[in-house]
């Protein structure tokens, strides 16, 4: 009889999720009681040596497998941002391997505009989709890209590396608030997903480890 994943709520300050190998199964599922979002800001930090395309943040509903997806098209030097199964490409950001990078993405349903910030540098604001909210049941996955609601994982799109400091808000953060997050300054944690009180379950080989910070060695 297979063991079911255990749902836990924990303060992950100073911690990271480690995805040590590419698979079509290992992932983290994040849980929220919020099931309707008219605007979003999601921020996280990632570290990887992948030069192939890979998923960073996958939110799916029964209506859309790419209800909200942040996808690193590393092979083409771009980031894809999907809302309601519609996407735009953000080109020209300085993607680096073997380096912690901070990413924030914003979108609201009124204007339909999305934007991506990488290490404090904003992209152009681009139209993605307007007039429709993100409406659940919501499933949020780290480590894999959902091609169905909660599944349909492809090993060639899996994430290998480390992720930390995942937050999701139900509104667009100001540029100054995003900079505070990027530079590890004081900021209000996410009111949809909060790394300091994260509800999640892991499946497969995903480790929770102390975040490596060589700046504290001296």
Would you give the DSSP letter of residue 189?
Answer: P
Q: Going edge to edge, which strands form the sheet with 86-91?
A: 8-10, 198-203, 27-30, 139-142, 54-60, 68-73, 78-83, 86-91
Calculate the alpha carbon distances from 199 to 102, 162, 174 in Å.
21, 18, 26
pLDDT, one tens digit for every residue, the chain (218 residues) = 445 566 788 999 999 999 999 999 999 999 999 999 999 999 999 999 999 999 999 999 999 999 999 999 988 889 999 999 999 999 978 889 999 999 999 999 999 999 999 999 999 999 999 999 999 899 999 999 999 999 999 999 999 999 999 999 999 999 999 999 999 999 999 999 999 999 999 999 999 999 987 666 55
Write down the pTM of the prediction: 0.94
């Amino acid at each position: 009889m297979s063991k079911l994943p255990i749902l836990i709520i924990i303060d992950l300050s100073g911690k990271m999720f480690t995805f040590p190998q590419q698979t079509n199964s290992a992932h983290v599922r994040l849980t929220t009681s919020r099931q309707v979002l008219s605007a979003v800001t999601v921020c996280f930090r990632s570290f990887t040596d992948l030069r192939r395309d890979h998923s960073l943040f996958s939110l799916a509903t029964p209506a859309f497998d790419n209800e909200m997806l942040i996808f690193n098209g590393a092979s083409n030097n771009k980031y894809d941002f999907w809302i309601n199964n519609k996407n735009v490409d953000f080109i020209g950001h300085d993607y680096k391997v073997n380096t912690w990078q901070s990413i924030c993405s914003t979108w609201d349903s009124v204007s339909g505009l999305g934007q991506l910030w990488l290490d404090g540098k904003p992209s152009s604001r681009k139209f993605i989709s307007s007039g429709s909210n993100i409406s659940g049941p919501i499933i949020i996955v780290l480590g894999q890209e959902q091609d169905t609601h909660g599944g349909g994982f492809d090993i060639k799109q899996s994430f290998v590396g480390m992720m930390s400091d995942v937050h999701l808000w139900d509104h667009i953060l100001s540029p100054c608030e995003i900079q505070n997050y990027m530079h590890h300054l004081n900021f209000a944690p996410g009111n949809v997903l909060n790394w300091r009180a994260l509800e999640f379950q892991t499946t497969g080989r995903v480790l929770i480890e102390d975040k490596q910070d060589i700046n504290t060695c001296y």
